[in-house]
Amino acid sequence: MRLPGWASLALSSLVISNFLTGAVRPRYGGTLTIELSTVWNKLDTGGFDSALSVPITETLVRVNSNGELEPVLAVAWQHDPDFKRWRFSLRPNVSFHDGEALTAATAAPSLLAALKPKYGEVSIEAGGQAIVVQSDREMPGLLEELALTRSAIFRKSDANPLIGTGPFRITAWEPGRRLNVAAFENYWGGRPYLDAVEIEFGPGHGRADLFDIPVGPAHRIFPEGLATWSSAPRTLVAITSTNSDVTLLQALALAVDRAPIANVLAQHKGEAAFGLLPQWLSGYAFLFNSTPDVVRAKQLVSSLRSGPTSLSYPANDLFLRSVAERIALNARDAGITIQPTTAGNANLRLMEWPLESNDTADELRRIALELGASDRTGSMDPAKPETLYQLERSLLDDHRIIPLLHLRQTYAIAPRVHFQPSTSGTFALRLEDAWIQP
Amino acid sequence: MSFRTKIFLSITGTVVLAVWIVAAVVSTLVTQSFERRDAQRTASLVNQLQREFDRRGKDVARRVEAVAESDAVQRLAVNFGGGQFDASQSFTEAQALAHEQSLDFLELVGPDSAIISSAEWPARFGYKEDWLAQPVDWKAQGVFLKKEDLADGSALGLITVRSVTAGDKTIYVAGGQRLDKEFLDSFPATDGVRLQLYTNFEPLPSPESLGSKLAGDLVQDVRRQSRELTRVNDAATITAIPLQGRDKQLLAILLIENSRAELASLKRYIQGTAGAVGGGCVLLGLLLSFWTASRVTRPLRDLAGSVREVAVGKWDTRANVGSSDEVGQLARDFNGMTEQLVEQRDRMIQAERVAAWRELARRLAHELKNPLFPLQITIENLQRSRDSSPAEFDEVFRESTTTLLAELGHLKTIVGRFSDFAKMPTPQLEPVDVNQMAREVIQLFEAQLQAPGRPRVETKLNLAADAGEVPADPEQLRRALRNLVLNALDAMPQGGTLSIRTSRHDGKVAMEVSDTGEGLTPEECDRLFTPYYTTKQHGTGLGLAIVQSVVSDHKGTISVQSEPNKGTIFRIELKASV
């Protein structure tokens, strides 16, 4: 998929470029320390953070910053006219972290597992460095699917849960606590600059080389001289409900003033959201923009006879708690009584919805599935943006979800850490491009 | 109720009443004394609380002042003045400052009255606090009460406001402490005093939640009247103080409940002591009453006993004269009276004896005179016959001697009757069938009643089947019954009906002999059983006396019932055989 030009422009504007510099020559060596507030208990190919890439595994292809597909582990591919049979030529001289060579046979199991959920019965023929994917269904979007991290090629062993072909290999893994990776000397693309990366999960001390800054009130005193980097808005904050009155949700959507939430509570780390997907991803999100209308909300509420409603938010999430309280305050102005709670049985749920891919159709499909409207995705044609808009519009008109914010992910980066401008131009912080100035 | 009981109850009642009056007076005086003390204590408490409020208010003012002078607020004001204000950097400022100064409420409000940061409700940034836009000298305003809106409702706050000016921009610092149970709990503890706070913007509390109905009513009254009120019940004195906001609206009511447990305890002690003393007095009074009543009524009881003795015939009974008071005089008078009665009785007996002898003499003279006169005539006739006609003398002599013997026999009979009456034998008791005896007596007179030329007398036997037997001397009882039948026949010279009726009830057997003769007057009835009294020309007056004597010897009773021209009924009642 190709990203619109304005999206690339928006993304590039987010990068604070003092650490993305080529003014100093990259150096090899050093250990990069990272603190992540999110806790990972399970290792999978998706990485740890949608904006921070720890490249342990690789996919056959990937999407660059221009939205173009480019080869990674596959160097060439062809398909038949009806997109039912695809043939990929694997990159030669690629080996897994344990030394096993990448062949069609070693790649086939993980590939098959990744494609089955989407395409159902898929057969894979492996022969030498050629791998053939065949299905009874047409697979026109197969390359985009293969570009997703979930389609990465990997193996497992008793000692190592994730053996990939990426620039870093796992050296220590303690679920929920730490992950240590080291440079893969035999990486086909060349050894990364860093010798090792040590990642700690949970509330850190702000003393690492790189750490994420959670959205909301800052509770840390950061060392001076830190640079920050923010991703494109990648997390949707929304209210969902399956059992509340539609009119109530409609009134609530009108009553909530999103701008103070984005500007004050999120401290400019988010954008007011009226659509499900951010503008940079969909290109049409501005069409959903509206302003709060408390008068109209009151009119809608006056026709209701509902009592107090509860709005749950994740326990220990101070940001969502403050958002929930603000929503309750806005709702009260419209005559809606909302009680914020951490209990799980609330009528309304305030949740964060991280984007998993840069594919508009795929994200819409995922959201539709979550909202129980997957049957509507059949009319969607990724090549026709208006079908995507119509699907999102219909999902919004159901009033089962009220988008509030699209949040960015922000990281603090120590002055000694530098990122070499990526040749791939992706929007994540790529550790294979990072180097440390002694 | 006896006289002694009455005296006892009167004295006891007097003692109890006196003790109760004393106890009531003491209790009232003690209660009034404690009421005054309780009122003084409540007033003192109210003053103490007001001083504590003032102190807390000054403390709040000092803390808010410190916030206003803090670097953070000064910087905020400067930022506003310089147009560099960023709400995202300031909206958590109030929480930190409030925490630092231990304030429950703190809001930083911008020149446009929009909340920059709120400690109590962080999400409320950007909302307007229009009341701060009023032109008020907030420092002079001091500390005041205010209803604070919170995410989970409302709360009462002790609030003060300070303004901070930088350039032409003024920001406001409104902070204070929450006025709630915890706030009240922090007040110096006083034994027996409970503080409660009712906030007027909450639902009206139930009396149970306030501790008593009195408190509930008091809250209602203060809500209506908006002035301090005090109510008292047995458990507590409750003073309700209305707490008003800046614009005089009633925001809350402070209830100061001063327990009267100590007073109640003391009252109980006094009442208990009074009760014990009173009880002792009552008990002593009872003993004294009993002793006094016994002492006072003893002569009367003795006198009453003497009266009863006299009533049963012991005329020589004398009352004990133990005192010289009215009762002693009464005893003396009683003794004098009995002495007079004895004298009168003796005189009456004497008179009656004389009368009886006179009656006896009259009867004897009358009875003896009747046969003596024929004797005299016969003897004189015999003398004349021998002198005048000796030839017929033998004939006359024979006739005369016959007459003389008849009259002498008559005399003998008369003497025998008197003798019989004088010598009534002791009855030999044996079971006697009264019905059988009634039949035998009637049969005895059958021949006499059916004699030619005699007026017709019809006999009737009305005998109860269950009459049974009586323990009696059959001869004496038959004689008594016979006398009654003879008496009845004598009462019916013109004929009539003679009835004998028997019956049994209550362990007694009754025999009634009735006639249909002329009957008797009440006076005659009264004297009927008197010896030698008779209403008949030829009677000795001993018949019914003998009947009464027999009945009396058999421990029975005899009575007469008669009406003139209707006849007479004699009724004998004897104890039935077991």
Give the DSSP H or E segment for B384.
Answer: helix B326-388
Residues B123, A325: C-beta atoms closer than 8 Å: yes
Q: Which chain A residues are closer than 8 Å to B124 by Cβ?
A: 329
Residue of A137, A100, A107, A101 whose CA lies nearest to A124: A107
Distance from CA of B124 to the nearest CA of A (A): 7
Last residue of a domain, one of A93, A126, A155: A155
Is A77 part of a structural domain of the chain? yes
State the Cα angle at B440 between B439 and B441, rounded to 5°: 95
- Count CB pairs under 8 A between chains A and B: 34
- Taking the CA of residue B97 and the nearest CA in chain A, the distance in Å comes to 15
Mean pLDDT, rounded, for A4-24: 42
Span A105-117, mean pLDDT? 90
> Which residue of chain B comes nearest to A261, CA vs CA?
B123
Q: Least CA distance to B87: which residue of chain A?
A: A264
Structure confidence by residue, pLDDT tens digits, A44-57 = 765 555 677 788 99
Q: Which of A263, A264, A269, A319 best probes binding to B when mutated, by most B CB atoms within 10 angstroms? A: A264
Q: How far apart are CA B148 and CA B104, in angstroms?
A: 11
Subunit contact A217:B92, Cβ cutoff 8 A: yes
What gap in Å lies between CA B185 and CA B189, rounded to an integer? Answer: 8
Q: Say whether B426-575 and B69-182 share the same fold.
A: no
Shared-domain flag, residues A71 and A138: yes
A275 and A421 fall within a common domain: no
Kindly list the domain boundaries of chain B, sorted by start residue: 69-182, 326-421, 426-575
Q: What is d(CA B276, CA B325) in angstroms, rounded to the nearest whole number?
A: 38
SS3 B488: helix
Looking at CA atoms only, how far is residue A246 from chain B in angstroms?
Answer: 25
Q: Strands, DSSP E only, in A102-145? A: 122-127, 130-135
- For residue A8, the model assigns a pLDDT of 36
Query: Do both A4 and A36 map to the same domain?
Result: yes
Residue A128 has pLDDT above 50, yes or no: yes
Q: Which residues of chain B have a CB within 8 Å of the CB of A325?
A: 121-123, 151
Q: Do A329 and B126 touch (CB under 8 A)?
A: no
Q: Could you tell me if residue A253 is inside a domain?
A: yes
Judgement on whether residues A262 and A359 belong to the same structural domain of the protein = yes
Rounded to whole angstroms, the Cα distance separating B438 from A349 reads 123
Residue of chain A whose Cα is closest to the Cα of B152:
A339
Instruction: Kindly give the pairing relationship between strand A434-436 and strand B105-109.
Output: unpaired
Q: Whose structure tokens read 């009151």?
A: A298
* Residues A284, A259 within the same domain: yes
Nearest to A45 by CA among A32, A61, A56, A30: A56
Question: CB–CB of B123 and A267 under 8 A?
Answer: no
Q: Classify residue A33 as exposed, middle or buried by CB count within 10 Å of its CB (0-12, 13-18, 19+).
A: middle
Domain spanning B426-575: which superfamily?
A: Histidine kinase-like ATPase, C-terminal domain (3.30.565.10)
Measured in angstroms, the CA of A34 and the nearest CA of chain B are apart by 26
Which of B85, B90, B91 has the highest number of chain A CBs within 10 A, making it the mutation to test binding with A? Answer: B91
Tell which wins on pLDDT, B153 or B189: B153
In this structure, the answer to whether residues A359 and A382 fall within a common structural domain is yes
Domain co-membership, A193 together with A215? yes
Range of the domain at A171: 1-56+166-230+410-438
> What burial letters (b/e) apply to A308-341, b meaning 16+ CB within 10 Å?
ebbbbbeeebbbbbbbbbbbbbbbeebbbebbbe
Residues A124-160 as b or e (16 or more Cβ within 10 Å = b): bebeebebbbebeeebebbbbbbbbbbbbbbbeeeeb
pTM above 0.80, yes or no: no
* Helix, strand, coil abundance in chain B, percent, nearest 5: 55, 20, 25
Residues with Cβ within 8 Å of A82's Cβ and at least 6 positions away in sequence, in order, are A138
ipTM > 0.85 (yes/no): no
Q: What is the CATH number of the domain that holds A40?
A: 3.40.190.10
Tell whether A161 is covered by a domain: no
CA distance B98 to B118: 9
Nearest CA distance, A264 vs chain B (angstrom): 4
Count Cα atoms within 13 angstroms, Cβ side, for A208.
22
Q: Which of A245, A203, A407 is nearest to A320 (CA)?
A: A407
Which residue in the set B122, B126, B152 is minimally distant from A322, CB to CB? B122
Q: Count structural domains, chain A.
A: 3
Residues of A in contact with B107 (CB under 8 A): none
Q: Which residue of A has its CA nearest to B95?
A: A217
| More confident position, B207 or A124 | A124
Q: What is the nearest CA distance from A403 to chain B, expressed in angstroms?
A: 19
Residue of A nearest to B117 (CA): A264
Q: Do B88 and A328 touch (CB under 8 A)?
A: no
In a domain? residue A2: yes
Smallest Cβ–Cβ distance between A325 and the set B88, B127, B151 belongs to B151
CA dist B275 and B283 (Å) reads: 12
Best mutation target, A329, A333, A350, to test chain B (most B CBs within 10 A): A329
Q: How confident is the model at residue A132 (pLDDT cuts 50, 70, 90)?
A: very high
List of residues 6+ apart from B371 with CB closer than 8 A: B407, B408, B410, B411, B414
Give the Cα separation of B559 and B450 in Å (integer). 29
B17: Cβ–Cβ under 8 A, 6 or more apart, which residues? none
> Cα A332 vs. chain centroid, distance in angstroms?
33
List beta partners, residue A127.
Answer: A130
* Residue that wins the pLDDT comparison between A144 and B533: A144
Same-domain status, A390 and A422 = no
The verdict on A177 and A145 lying in the same domain is no
pLDDT confidence tier of residue A222, bands split at 50, 70 and 90 = low
List Cβ neighbours of A151 (8 Å cut-off, separation of 6 or more).
Answer: A45, A59, A60, A111, A114, A115, A145
Nearest to B174 by CA among B132, B213, B126, B137: B132
Name the residue facing B87 among A264, A325, A340 (closest C-beta). A264
Residue A109 lies in a domain: yes
Q: Which residues of B touch A264 (CB under 8 A)?
A: 87-88, 91, 125-126
What pLDDT, on the 0 to 100 scale, is given for residue A12? 36
Q: In angstroms, rounded to a whole number, what is the distance separating the alpha carbons of residues B245 and B146?
A: 6
CATH of the domain at A346: 3.10.105.10
User: In terms of domains, do A366 and A249 share one?
Assistant: yes
β-pair type (A122-127, A130-135): antiparallel
Mean of the per-residue pLDDT values of chain B? 84
Alpha helical stretches, state H, B423-504: 434-449, 474-490
Q: Is residue A296 part of a domain?
A: yes
Please check whether residue A160 lies inside any domain of the structure. Answer: no
The answer on A82 and A33 residing in a single domain is no
- Check whether residue A393 and residue A329 sit in a common domain: yes
Average pLDDT over residues B386-406: 83
User: pLDDT tens for residues A273-298?
Assistant: 999 999 988 889 999 988 999 999 99
Q: How far apart are CA A33 and CA B575, in angstroms?
A: 135
Say whether pLDDT at B512 is over 90.
yes
Q: Does A254 map to a domain?
A: yes
Task: Say yes or no: domain B69-182 is CATH 3.10.129.10.
Answer: no
- Give the residue among A352, A341, A335 at the shortest CA–CA distance from A401: A352
Judging contacts by C-beta atoms under 8 Å, the chain B residues touching residue A217 are: 92
pLDDT > 90? residue B298: no
Nearest by CB to residue A264, choosing from B91, B121, B151, is B91
Query: What backbone torsions phi and psi does residue B460 show, to the nearest 5 degrees?
Result: -135, 135
Residue numbers in B near A326 (CB within 8 A): 123
Interface of A with B (CB under 8 A): 217, 260, 263-268, 322, 325-326, 328-329, 339-340
